[in-house]
């Protein structure tokens, strides 16, 4: 397309975003190079291989919708698929559409700089190669940069350490071992029941207890699969304009509009169905503190019902934040695991880990000795993977500097002063508050539509207007502030990373509403974006 650059597009990442981008860019005739730091495709599902890893969105929904034959052909073995099945699916898609030949594995993009003369990006990899590209697309995922807390004495510990988000590719055998898990978010809650069955002894270090709902996972039945596949395209249309990019049954009445018995009956029904649909029991659980309390209390009662030891049950009961304002966890036998003889819970909410020593972990001056320590301590979410590339825009402005008080984007897609840089499911878009694959498809489609429109019009540079961006940044906060979400110290708020600005990063206005906003902006001649003509188009005038 452009003769003054090496390639039309450079994409960073070959997860679900990078794969679909490559498919669409190639189809649209844009020359593309994709760089992936991992050894193969799959992104988050390539790295998160910890025992018990699975998706908490139903697989018939957490899958690509862009190709009817693909969605008809693929068979998911379970309702909620395990990591190996999702990774196999990513590989199937890559092979089916012959994508791997254009992906360069085990290569990291280190820096990118917008060159004002060239009106393009100069991109540097860890191999020292510099590539000039018209467009630069970050498809680096929202939850990809692992976080090991800076605990004193970390390097003194001589046993094995693991992070759930960077798990070894070969099988790890914990049998006969005494092991520790630090962290009880989704990754901890999924891995603990499986690890407990392998290890001789498992000790869980919990700072904040989490609300977790049983997945009630089950093998995929032919009947259920057919009920989706017979009407897949209609279902997908509905999902695209839904609140979360997935079909959930929202009971559209306030929690306090029904009496106590009716509420209990409904929670019990939803608990038995399992999954995140529990939060759809009523329409105000995330906006009304009193309504929220009723759901939170129901979960606390379930924990106390399941966990036999009263003291352990009490420690496992979350109380310090409303249910749903930290990512709700979905489990398979999590609370039941604490009834096992070989599992112990250590409450570190008041007395944190003092330090690590050669043998293990010290809490409250007591040594807990371990053969292995597993960090399920989360990620520098939403911005961590973007900042891993040293991105410099107009006038050498570093993205990290521009975002030092929090991410500033227009639609979570672009940032002013960084022309021709797109972020797939960036901060300020529904991203992690949605079924990621549906949001990925929407962003990729929007990028492709924009590039095609620019090509038709002889335009070569696109950038958001600062005013439009500022308004969007305010809107994202305004919508979040109408909910209970800001009340939790969550990674949505950047609260898990010391020094990270505190603000709600994803857009919570809803997947369908967001899509309609994007459609309206495009229909209004890309309101809030500004464009420049290519040199060829100017010369031709």
Residue ranges binding ligand NAP (CB under 6 A): 55-56, 143, 149, 164, 182-188, 190, 207-208, 327, 330, 348, 353, 376-379, 432, 491, 496
In angstroms, the CA 383 to CA 408 distance is 11
Using the minimum distance from each CB to ligand NAP, give the nearer residue, 333 or 458.
Answer: 333
Q: Which is nearer to ligand NAP, 339 or 489 (CB)?
A: 489
CA distance 8 to 420: 11
- Least Å distance, CB 380 to ligand NAP, is 10
Q: List the beta bridge partners of residue 180.
A: 203, 373
| Least Cβ distance, residue 189 to ligand NAP (angstroms) | 7
- Please tell me the distance from the alpha carbon of residue 374 to that of residue 190, in angstroms, as a whole number: 13
**Min. distance of Cβ 334 from ligand NAP in angstroms?**
12
Minimum Å distance from CB 147 to ligand NAP?
7
Nearest distance in Å: CB 349, ligand NAP: 8
Name which of 497, 383, 378, 504 is nearest 433 in CA terms. 504
Angle at 457 between CA 115 and CA 518, to 5 degrees: 85
Q: Residue 19 or residue 363: which is nearer to ligand NAP going by CB?
A: 363
Are the beta carbons of 409 and 462 closer than 8 angstroms? no
Three-class DSSP category at 431 = helix
Q: Which is nearer to ligand NAP, 388 or 435 (CB)?
A: 435
Q: Which two tokens stand for residue 298?
A: 């129901």
DSSP category for residue 220: P
Considering the complex, state which of residue 191 and residue 409 has its C-beta at the smaller distance from ligand NAP: 191
Phi, psi of 325 (to 5 degrees): -85, -20
Residue 181: in which H helix or E strand, if any?
strand 178-182
In the complex, least distance from residue 188 CB atom to ligand NAP, rounded to whole angstroms: 5
Closest by alpha carbon to 5, among 137, 125, 114? 114
- CB of 275: closest distance to ligand NAP in angstroms? 10
CB of 51 to ligand NAP, least distance (A): 12
CA–CA dist 465, 478 (Å, integer) = 20
Token digits for 35?
Answer: 């760089």
Residue 312 to residue 345: CA distance in whole angstroms? 7
- We find the least distance from the C-beta atom of residue 196 to ligand NAP, in angstroms, to be 17
Between residues 331 and 441, which has the closer beta carbon with respect to ligand NAP?
Answer: 331
Residue nearest to ligand NAP (CB): 185
Question: Closest CB to ligand NAP among 56 and 85?
Answer: 56
Of residues 277 and 419, the one with the C-beta less far from ligand NAP: 277
Closer Cβ to ligand NAP, 418 or 492, answer by number: 492
The torsion region of residue 324 among left (phi > 0), alpha (psi -120 to 50) and beta comes to left
Q: Which is nearer to ligand NAP, 348 or 454 (CB)?
A: 348
- Least distance (Å) between residue 457 CB and ligand NAP: 39
Closest separation in Å from C-beta 469 to ligand NAP = 26
Q: How far apart (Å, rounded) are the C-alpha atoms in residues 301 and 232? A: 38
Which of 332/534 has CB closer to ligand NAP? 332
Beta-bridged to residue 44, according to DSSP, are none
Angle CA 294–478–280, to nearest 5: 30
* Nearer to ligand NAP (CB atom), residue 9 or residue 315: 315
Closer to ligand NAP by Cβ: residue 44 or 71: 44
Give the per-residue SS3 of 286-348: CCCHHHHHHHHHHHHHHHHHHCCCHHHHHHHCCCCCCCCCCCCEEECCHHHHCCCCCEEEEEC
Task: Provide, rounded to whole angstroms, the least separation between the CB of residue 375 and ligand NAP.
Answer: 8
Spatial separation of the C-alpha atoms in residues 76 and 59, rounded to whole Å? 7
Closest CA to 393 of 385, 384, 403, 383: 403
Indicate if the alpha-carbon torsion angle 447, 449, 455, 461 is positive or negative: negative
Specify the residue for token string 């304002």: 325
Q: DSSP for 478-494, please give it.
A: HHHHTSSGGGS--GGGT
Pick the closest to residue 21 from 73, 93, 81, 87 (CA basis): 93
Shortest distance, position 187 Cβ to ligand NAP, whole Å? 3
Instruction: Tell me if residue 196 falls in helix, strand or coil.
Output: helix
């Amino acid at each position: 397309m452009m003769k003054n650059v090496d390639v039309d597009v450079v994409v960073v990442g070959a997860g679900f975003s990078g794969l679909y981008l490559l498919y669409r860019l190639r189809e649209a005739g844009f020359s593309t190079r994709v760089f992936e730091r991992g050894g193969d495709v799959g992104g988050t599902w390539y790295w998160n291989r910890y025992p018990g890893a699975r998706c908490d969105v139903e697989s018939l929904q957490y899958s690509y919708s862009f190709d009817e034959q693909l969605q008809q052909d693929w068979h998911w073995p379970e309702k909620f698929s395990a990591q190996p099945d999702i990774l196999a699916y990513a590989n199937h898609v890559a092979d089916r559409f012959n994508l791997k030949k254009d992906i360069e594995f085990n290569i990291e993009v280190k820096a990118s700089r917008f060159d004002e003369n060239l009106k393009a990006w100069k991109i540097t990899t860890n191999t020292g190669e510099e590539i000039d590209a018209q467009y630069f697309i970050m498809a680096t995922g929202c939850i990809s940069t692992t976080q090991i807390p800076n605990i004193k004495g970390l390097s003194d510990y001589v046993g094995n350490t693991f992070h759930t988000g960077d798990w070894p590719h070969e099988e790890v055998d914990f049998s006969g071992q005494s092991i520790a898990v630090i962290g009880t978010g989704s990754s901890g809650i999924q891995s603990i029941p499986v690890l407990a069955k392998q290890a001789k002894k498992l000790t869980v270090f919990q700072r904040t207890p989490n609300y977790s709902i049983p997945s009630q996972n089950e093998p995929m039945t032919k009947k259920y699969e057919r009920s989706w596949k017979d009407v897949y395209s209609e279902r997908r249309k509905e999902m695209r304009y839904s609140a979360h990019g997935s079909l959930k049954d929202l009971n559209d009445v306030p929690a306090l509009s029904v009496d106590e018995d009716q509420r209990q009956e409904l929670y019990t029904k939803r608990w038995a169905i399992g999954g995140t649909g529990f939060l759809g029991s009523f329409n105000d659980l995330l906006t009304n503190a009193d309504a929220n309390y009723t759901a939170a209390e129901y979960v606390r009662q379930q924990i106390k019902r399941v966990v036999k030891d009263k003291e352990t049950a009490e420690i496992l009961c979350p109380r310090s934040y409303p249910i749903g304002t930290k990512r709700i966890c979905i489990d398979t036998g999590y609370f039941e695991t604490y009834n096992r003889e070989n599992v112990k819970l250590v409450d570190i909410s008041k007395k944190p880990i003092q330090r690590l020593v050669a043998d293990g972990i010290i809490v409250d001056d007591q040594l807990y000795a371990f053969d292995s320590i597993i960090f399920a301590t989360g990620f520098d979410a939403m911005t961590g993977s973007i900042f891993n590339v040293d991105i410099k825009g107009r006038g050498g402005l570093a993205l990290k500097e521009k975002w030092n008080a929090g991410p500033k984007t227009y639609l979570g897609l672009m940032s002013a002063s960084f022309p021709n840089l797109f972020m797939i499911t960036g901060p300020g878009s529904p991203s992690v508050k949605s079924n990621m694959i549906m949001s990925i498809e929407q962003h990729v489609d929007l990028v492709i539509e924009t590039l095609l429109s620019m090509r038709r019009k002889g335009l070569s540079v696109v950038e958001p207007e600062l005013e439009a961006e500022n308004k969007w940044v305010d809107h994202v906060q305004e919508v979040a502030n109408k909910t209970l979400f800001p009340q939790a110290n969550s990674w949505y708020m950047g609260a898990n990373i010391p020094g990270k600005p505190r603000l709600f990063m994803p857009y919570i206005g809803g997947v369908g509403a967001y899509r309609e906003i994007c459609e309206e902006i495009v229909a209004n001649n890309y309101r809030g974006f500004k464009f420049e003509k290519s040199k060829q188009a100017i010369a031709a005038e």
